[in-house]
Amino acid sequence: MREIVLDTETTGFEPAEGHRIVEIGAIELFNHMPTGRTFHHYVNPERAMPTEAFQVHGLGDDFLRSKPRFAEIAAAFLDFLGGDSRLVIHNAAFDMKFLNAELGWVSLPLIATDRALDTVALARRKFPGAPASLDALCRRFGIDNSAREKHGALLDSELLAEVYLELIGGRQPDLVLAVSAGPASAGVASGWKPGPRPAALPPRVTEEERAAHAALVESLGEGAIWKRFG
């Protein structure tokens, strides 16, 4: 199963008020394991960066002015998402409204909202009443977020991937121990099966323990399960 953990940074809270995306970061998971594939771009918002947004993201107008506009990266972004991969997003409604606003402005297909899994909602179901911010969840799960001095889309995606895997029960939540056929298993020979041991392991039960067990079984009478089934 392919999933994309995604985060955006923006100039404000509402695209309807003219606010725009300034950064997109995403990482690919296959069967809940990072594959190493990422998508990351800073984006020229074609507007001035508000002071409060600069304080949160640390991204200034001069820096962003040299970056591509959303229209220039939109096709590559949609290609990275793929057609049906689940999107894992913290506070998904916020990011989805900005992504679909940007896609709509450049006349590209919108992303179906039901593709997004909201990790805020997931955390609140699992820990009712507890803080569900990304920082709070990193603290809960012992995830090092010391590099998060400013909000950054790619770093936040990497942290969110770790949080998400903890929320669903670890890196192999379904106890899938078989080798995957996806990218994470590249180079592993298909059809591999373990062979027999060249020599049997030596017994770890001592003669004294065998004798004590035999005496215990004898004391249980003829109905003992060890006697009926050998």
- Which position among 19, 57, 151, 213 bears the catalytic label? 151
Q: How many domains does the chain have?
A: 1
Note the pLDDT tens digit of each residue in 33-76.
999 999 999 999 999 989 888 777 778 899 999 999 999 999 99
Check which CATH number belongs to the domain holding 150 and give it.
Answer: 3.30.420.10
Half-sphere exposure of 142 (CA within 13 A, CB side): 0
Note the pLDDT tens digit of each residue in 185-202.
444 444 555 666 677 667
CA distances from 212 to 215, 216, 223 (A): 5, 6, 19
Helices (H), the chain: 51-57, 61-65, 70-81, 92-105, 119-126, 134-141, 153-167, 207-219, 225-229
- Output the six-digit token pair for 101: 């606003």
Domain presence at residue 92: yes
Domain presence at residue 223: no
Determine the structural domain holding residue 23 and report its residue range: 2-183
Half-sphere exposure of 158 (CA within 13 A, CB side): 15
- The one-letter amino acid code at 205 reads V
β 21-30/33-42 pair status: antiparallel
Q: Reply yes or no on whether 41 is catalytic.
A: no
Domain presence at residue 64: yes
Domain presence at residue 205: no
Domain presence at residue 192: no
Domain presence at residue 147: yes
Residue indicated by tokens 């010391």: 146
**Contact present, 30 and 18 (Cβ < 8 Å):** no
Report angle CA 112, 117, 119 to the nearest 5 degrees.
145
Domain presence at residue 225: no
Note the pLDDT tens digit of each residue in 83-139.
999 999 999 999 999 999 999 999 999 999 999 999 999 999 999 999 999 999 999
- The one-letter amino acid code at 168 reads I
**Contact present, 160 and 90 (Cβ < 8 Å):** yes
Note the pLDDT tens digit of each residue in 158-186.
999 999 999 998 655 444 443 444 444 44
Domain presence at residue 197: no
Q: Measured between alpha carbons, how far is 94 from 162 in angstroms, rounded to an integer?
A: 21
